[in-house]
Amino acid sequence: MHMKLASLILAAVAGFCPAMRGAESIQPGEVWLDNRGQPIQAHGGGILRLGEVYYWFGEDRSPNNERGRRYVSCYASTNLAQWTFRNQVVKLADPEQLGPGWVFERPKVFYNAATKKFVMYAHLDDRRYKLARVAVLTCDTVAGDYHYLKSFRPLDHESRDIGQFVDDDGTAYLIFEDRPNGFHIAKLSADYLNVESEVCLIAEHMEGGAIVHYHGLYYVLGSALTGWNPNPNKYATAKSLSGPWSEFKDLAPPELKTYGSQSTLLLKVVGSKTDTVIFMGDIWKPRAQWDSRYLWMPLAISDGQMHLPKPREWTLDMQTGEAKIQK
Ligand code: GAL
> Which CATH number do you get for residue 276?
2.115.10.20
Q: Are the C-beta atoms of 211 and 163 separated by less than 8 Å?
A: yes
Mean pLDDT to the nearest integer, 220-241? 98
The Cβ of residue 308 has, within 10 Å, a number of other Cβ atoms equal to: 24
Number of domain units in the chain: 1
Atom index in ligand 1 nearest the CA of residue 125 equals: 10
What is the structure's pLDDT at 18?
A: 40
The alpha-helical segments, DSSP class H, found in the chain are 3-16, 257-260
CA nearest to 267, candidates 254, 275, 281, 277? 277
Tell how far the Cα of 96 is from the centroid of ligand 1, in angstroms: 20
Q: Are the C-beta atoms of 136 and 193 separated by less than 8 Å?
A: yes
pLDDT surpasses 70 at 20: no
Mean pLDDT to the nearest integer, 27-47? 98
pLDDT surpasses 90 at 111: yes
pLDDT surpasses 70 at 218: yes
CA nearest to 65, candidates 275, 301, 229, 290? 290
Atom index in ligand 1 nearest the CA of residue 226 equals: 7
Tell how far the Cα of 69 is from the centroid of ligand 1, in angstroms: 18
Mean pLDDT to the nearest integer, 87-91? 98
What is the structure's pLDDT at 15?
A: 37
CA nearest to 276, candidates 298, 258, 249? 298
Torsion angle of C-alpha atoms 249, 256, 43, 105, degrees rounded to 10: 60
Ligand 1 mutation pick, 72, 158, 160, max ligand atoms within 8 A of CB = 160
What is the structure's pLDDT at 22?
A: 59
Tell how far the Cα of 227 is from the centroid of ligand 1, in angstroms: 5
Count how many Cα atoms sit within 13 Å of the Cα of residue 304 in the half-sphere of its side chain: 10
Ligand 1 mutation pick, 159, 223, 228, 264, max ligand atoms within 8 A of CB = 228
Mean pLDDT to the nearest integer, 114-125? 98
pLDDT surpasses 80 at 114: yes
**d(Cα 159, Cα 198) in Å, to the nearest integer?**
13
Which range (22-36, 204-218, 234-248, 285-299) has the least confidence? 22-36
Greater pLDDT, 316 or 6: 316
What is the structure's pLDDT at 23?
A: 73
pLDDT surpasses 90 at 9: no
pTM of the model as a whole: 0.93
Cβ contacts of 324 within 8 Å, gap of 6 or more = 314, 315, 316, 317
**308-324 pLDDT, tens digit each:** 999 999 999 999 999 99
Ligand 1 proximal residues by C-beta, below 6 Å: 44, 105-106, 161, 207-208, 227-228, 262
Tell how far the Cα of 17 is from the centroid of ligand 1, in angstroms: 41
Domain limits for position 241: 3-325
- The type of residue at 170 is G
Instruction: Report the relative pairing of strands 300-302 and 43-50 from DSSP bridges.
Output: unpaired
